[in-house]
Amino acid sequence: MQKSYRESGIGMFDAHPGTYLVSAYFDDNQVDLIYTNVLGWQVGKDRRLTPITLDPRAADEDVWFVLHPDGRVESSDARSWPDKDAWIADERRTHRAAA
């Protein structure tokens, strides 16, 4: 059994099938999307939800993004998009502004 270094929460529940953490990486006009299955959610003492994935570092980013089964994308900082294409367009604008 592996040791978990995450602060324990007050509860957990299953994620809906088809829920993913998603990351976008841009190279010129191309975008690479990386998907990580969300198996469940941990409810922290502060009532924050943290995704449970096979990769324990997947949600270590300052801001992480969840693709829901209905196509919506939400971020850990409370932003949301109606679909993946709207999220990619917004991330592309952010990436270009930072470059």
- 23-28: list long-range contacts, CB under 8 Å, 24+ apart: 23/61, 23/64, 23/65, 24/65, 24/87, 24/88, 24/91, 24/92, 26/91, 26/92, 26/95
pLDDT tens digits for range 52-97? 999 878 887 789 999 999 999 999 999 999 999 999 999 999 888 8
- pLDDT for 37: 95
Average pLDDT over residues 28-50: 90
